[in-house]
Amino acid sequence: MKNHAALIGTVINRQTETYGVKDAILYALAVGVGADAVDPKQLPYVYEEPALQTLPTLALVIAYPGFWMRDPQYGFTWQQVLHAEEALEIHEPLPPSGTVSGETIIEDVVDRGADKGCFVYLKKELRSVDGKTLYATVRSNTLARADGGFGGKSQARPAPPAPPERAPDQICDLTTNFNQALLYRLCGDMNPLHADPAVATGAGFARPILHGRCTLGVAMHAILKSCCDYDARRMKTLNVRFSSPVLPGETLRTEIWNEDGIAYFRTSVLERNVVVLNNGSARVAPRG
């Protein structure tokens, strides 16, 4: 059994990435923005004229380290890893094209026991090449289900806040496409779990599942539509806990509670009545 706690502080990826307008458009399409091709509020994210706008969660895929857990040097059973949590803070909106520097480090590893695996916490920072502008900070937590029991610390980080215990203020339903995982993987996450039926069934799923970050992107779309009137500059943070996988083609219902500039949310699959994102929150700036 590998001592995964020894990985704390490891820089798993450091890169300078140049991306273009097509990359920003591809990402927007991959999370379902532009599904209504004549909606004038969605069009600025998928059409470059007069000026393309970027989605906050584009920061998740720029300078993305890829499926790094598949690399044998880290010693993870890659077929048994699942995305557990994600937190995004936008400091400055990403331009529609440009060159940025990204660094991803392993911040922490928590041993949940031999039968429960371990949590692996990452932090990625996106900056301008000269280092003067910090665009975004991305923190994620991955559950390596088969890699616990090495004797590391066992105290996980606190869960994000749960939604209020009352009826939601808004509800937004968005339907995913059957090929959405195949489209989203072109944004950088090439894990075969989302494309290869044999890998998916080997991991215990009926068929390839949607990327967790894609599900998050759909929920972001719901917040953008319901709380920001499609003005992405108003969304400052996004936090969520992943609770169940989504099958491409399913309809995602996002329930939203608005309190003091925070949009708390929970996302469920309508067809199966299963919560797939929980403890969600987004800080939304006032209009104007």
Do the Cβ atoms of 25 and 52 come closer than 8 Å?
A: yes
- Of 212, 223, 256, 280, which one is the catalytic site residue? 212
Radius of gyration of the chain (CA): 18
Active site residue 91: no
Residue 66 has a pLDDT of 86
- pLDDT tens, position by position, 167-216: 999 999 999 999 999 999 999 888 899 999 999 999 889 999 999 999 99
Give the dihedral of Cα atoms 239, 84, 278, 43; nearest 10 deg.
60
Write down the mean pLDDT value for the chain.
95
pLDDT of residue 10: 97
Concerning whether 113 is annotated as a catalytic residue, the answer is no
Known catalytic residue at 23: no
Sorted by where each starts, the structural domains of the chain and their CATH numbers stand as: 4-284 (3.10.129.10)
Q: Which of 12, 3, 36, 22 is nearest to 230 (CA)?
A: 36
C-alpha pair distances (Å), 262 with each of 1, 86, 256: 42, 17, 10
Residues 6 or more apart in contact with residue 103 via CB below 8 angstroms: 11, 13, 14, 63, 124, 125
The pLDDT assigned to 200 comes to 93
Q: Of residues 32, 147, 189, 280, which has the active-site annotation?
A: 189
pLDDT tens-digit map of 107-163: 999 999 999 999 999 999 999 999 999 999 999 999 999 999 998 888 888 888 899
pLDDT number for residue 241: 96
Q: What is the pLDDT of residue 82?
A: 85
Please tell me which residue in 4, 194, 211, 221 is annotated as part of the active site: 194
Say whether 194 is catalytic.
yes
Q: What's the confidence (pLDDT) of residue 1?
A: 66
* Of 25, 24, 31, 35, residue with least CA distance to 59: 24
Q: Which of 209, 211, 217, 223 is catalytic?
A: 209
Question: In the chain, pLDDT over 90 holds for what percent of residues?
Answer: 88
- % of the chain at pLDDT higher than 70: 100
Q: Confirm if 119 and 112 have CB atoms less than 8 A apart.
A: yes
Preceding omega of 65 cis (within 30 degrees of 0): no
φ, ψ of residue 223 in degrees (nearest 5): -70, -40
Token readout for 53 is 């706008």
CB 239 within 8 A of CB 281: yes
Task: Give the 3-state DSSP-derived string for 258-270, with helices as H, strands as E and coil as C.
Answer: EECCEEEEEEEEC
Task: Please say whether the beta carbons of 265 and 280 come within 8 A.
Answer: yes
Nearest Cα to Cα of residue 274 among 241, 240, 251, 248: 251
